[in-house]
């Protein structure tokens, strides 16, 4: 054995002997460990909350604001209750009760979700209000209960160690370190490898095991009653099929589902990809060129109308966002000569569509990574067409709507190239679309906005924006390939309805208020 290994073992043994000789020190270490682990599990639940509700309300700044605010509120109230309880003489059993109940209520969040989701999904609540209610009902009580042990154990530790500043500082530091560890482990490892519901089940089991030593001097029925409550909750979850979840797969970025969409195709079989709660594309099994979603069809028809027929087979494409790979798949089917580069952030998305959405990865050059960073690394003037079809739930990622990104895209386009993007916004006053038009006009001479129809009442729509140095020159675009459709250029009514373009910002990397621009989607039922 090396001297280094021997020294480490000797130090470890001396530390163990010191603890054994002084049971107070051993108890202080145990208290610190409980504070560390309970704080870690609180952050595990907080990060998991965002993924658990994503299939129902998506992931936005507002949903994360609800999660962070409610968890902190529960933690604060729990800290206050724990401090008051400690002053009234609570002993170790109080910590055990709080941890065991936190285990039960954390597990019960899966049951609550099965009862709450059908009610909220059928209601007229907007996404922000629904997010708040989901988090409040699912995670406020567990957060409150997990806030109790720290002040309780800190008070008990001060009875064993009179160095007040030392004890309080150590407990605060361990709670913070536990929170950091819980955040990183959940975000980088647990959700992707275990899945959301498994993370919650494991966290509940750990909390209950952590509680057991605090019941060693308590009457036996107390932990048994709490355990029975946990078993009853688990049985109810199983009865409600709450352990199954709604995701086919979970990645570090999305809850992924592939659903049958054959009813939307004129014939044959079709599959649709749903990321979180937004449908991202529909692929037909035997007809790759059948673009079922009107906005995807439009983005390809803009290419057909922008370029001369003899140039189309040799075009070079860059797709910012792969998703269901619907348009790249159609382009490859229509011409084998096209150069197609797809930047997809999530490799799990690619793997899923290859397995279930009839996509052949050999048809494209796929770069897994951020679309803007990938585009930046491409040579100047290397693409005829750049398509941005990337969404963070119902919003485009912030850095893909700014003036800096528009100028980057223009620099990568060949002379006469075409830039297209799609935007989810409300009708008739789409402020996000208008701000993006303002932004793109700083980089491109011609910017047009298109819709497949004009709705009769306010609702959510998918707009397509095209930008280039030359006008397409028509107000109605009729399809040349695939399903028979027509689209309308709505520049004039857009500029003369609702908020004036001059009153809306140009997006930049320093100022990109996407949530404010799509607040009508988030704060009204139309956004659901």
Looking at residue 23, what is its pLDDT?
A: 63
Architecture of the domain delimited by 293-527: 3-Layer(aba) Sandwich (3.40)
Same fold, 23-246 and 293-527: no
* pLDDT confidence band for 423 (50 / 70 / 90): very high
Q: State yes or no: pLDDT of 16 exceeds 50.
A: no
Kindly report, residue by residue over 40-94, the tens digit of the pLDDT. Answer: 999 999 999 998 998 888 888 888 999 999 999 999 999 999 999 999 988 889 9
Map out the domains of the chain as residue ranges: 23-246, 293-527
Q: Which two tokens stand for residue 3?
A: 């001297």
Which stretch of 17-21, 181-185, 449-453, 459-463 has the lowest confidence by average pLDDT? Answer: 17-21
Q: State yes or no: pLDDT of 317 exceeds 90.
A: yes
* pLDDT confidence band for 12 (50 / 70 / 90): very low
* pLDDT confidence band for 22 (50 / 70 / 90): low
Q: Which two tokens stand for residue 81?
A: 């209750």
Mean pLDDT of the chain: 90
* pLDDT confidence band for 10 (50 / 70 / 90): low
Q: How far apart are CA 366 and CA 358, in angstroms?
A: 16
Kindly report, residue by residue over 497-521, the tens digit of the pLDDT. Answer: 999 999 999 999 999 999 889 888 8
Looking at residue 225, what is its pLDDT?
A: 78
Kindly tell me the burial class for residue 185, based on how many C-beta atoms sit within 10 Å of its own C-beta (0-12, 13-18, 19 or more).
middle
* pLDDT confidence band for 144 (50 / 70 / 90): very high
Architecture of the domain delimited by 23-246: Up-down Bundle (1.20)
* pLDDT confidence band for 416 (50 / 70 / 90): very high
Report which secondary-structure segment, H or E, holds 70. helix 61-87
Q: State yes or no: pLDDT of 200 exceeds 50.
A: yes
Looking at residue 18, what is its pLDDT?
A: 45
Strands 316-320 and 459-468, by their bridges, are: unpaired
Looking at residue 522, what is its pLDDT?
A: 77
Kindly report, residue by residue over 117-141, the tens digit of the pLDDT. Answer: 999 888 888 888 999 999 999 999 9
Give the helix, strand, coil percentages of the chain, each rounded to 5.
Answer: 55, 15, 25
Higher pLDDT, 519 or 405: 405
């Amino acid at each position: 054995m090396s001297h280094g290994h021997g020294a480490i073992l000797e130090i470890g043994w001396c530390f163990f002997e010191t603890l054994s000789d002084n049971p107070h020190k051993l108890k202080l270490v145990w208290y610190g460990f409980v504070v560390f682990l309970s704080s870690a599990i609180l952050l595990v639940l907080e990060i998991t909350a965002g993924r658990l509700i994503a299939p129902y309300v998506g992931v936005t700044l507002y949903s994360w604001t609800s999660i962070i605010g409610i968890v902190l509120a529960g933690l604060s109230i729990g800290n206050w209750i724990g401090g008051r309880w400690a002053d009234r003489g609570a002993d170790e059993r109080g910590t055990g009760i709080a941890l065991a109940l936190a285990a039960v209520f954390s597990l019960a969040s899966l049951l609550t979700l099965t009862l709450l989701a059908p009610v909220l999904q059928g209601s007229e609540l907007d996404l922000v209000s629904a997010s708040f209610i989901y988090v409040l009902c699912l995670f406020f009580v567990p957060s409150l209960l997990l806030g109790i042990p720290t002040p309780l154990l800190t008070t008990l530790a001060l009875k064993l160690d009179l160095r007040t500043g030392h004890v309080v500082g150590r407990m605060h530091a361990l709670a913070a370190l536990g929170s950091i560890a819980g955040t990183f482990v959940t975000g980088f490892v647990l959700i992707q490898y275990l899945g959301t519901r498994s993370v919650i089940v494991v966290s509940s089991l750990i909390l209950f095991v952590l509680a057991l030593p605090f019941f060693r001097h308590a009457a036996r029925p107390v932990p048994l009653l709490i355990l029975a409550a946990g078993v009853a909750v688990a049985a109810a979850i199983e009865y409600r099929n709450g352990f199954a979840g709604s995701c086919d797969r979970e990645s570090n970025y999305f809850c992924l589902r592939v659903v049958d969409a054959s009813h939307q195709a004129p014939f044959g079989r079709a599959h649709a990809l749903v990321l979180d709660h937004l449908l991202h594309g529909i692929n037909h099994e035997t007809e790759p060129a059948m673009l079922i979603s009107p906005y995807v069809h439009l983005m390809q028809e803009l290419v057909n109308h922008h370029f001369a027929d003899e140039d189309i087979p040799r075009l070079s494409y860059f797709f910012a966002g792969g998703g269901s790979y619907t348009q790249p798949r159609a382009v490859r089917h229509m011409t084998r000569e096209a150069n197609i580069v797809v930047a997809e952030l999530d490799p799990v998305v690619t793997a899923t569509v290859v397995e279930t959405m009839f996509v052949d990865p050999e048809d494209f050059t796929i770069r897994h990574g951020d679309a803007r960073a990938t585009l930046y690394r491409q040579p100047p003037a290397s693409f005829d067409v750049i398509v941005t079809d990337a969404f963070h739930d119902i919003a485009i990622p912030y850095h893909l709507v700014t003036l800096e990104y528009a100028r980057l895209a223009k620099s990568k386009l060949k002379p006469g190239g075409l830039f297209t993007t799609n935007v989810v916004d409300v009708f008739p006053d789409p402020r996000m679309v208008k701000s993006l038009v303002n932004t793109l006009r700083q980089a491109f001479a011609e910017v047009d906005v298109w819709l497949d129809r004009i709705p009769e009442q306010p609702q959510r729509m998918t707009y397509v924006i095209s930008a280039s140095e030359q006008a397409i020159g028509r107000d109605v675009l009729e399809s040349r390939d695939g399903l028979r459709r027509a689209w309308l250029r709505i520049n004039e009514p857009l500029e003369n309805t609702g908020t004036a373009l001059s009153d809306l910002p140009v997006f930049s990397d320093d100022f990109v208020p996407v949530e404010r621009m799509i607040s009508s989607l988030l704060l009204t039922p139309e956004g659901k």
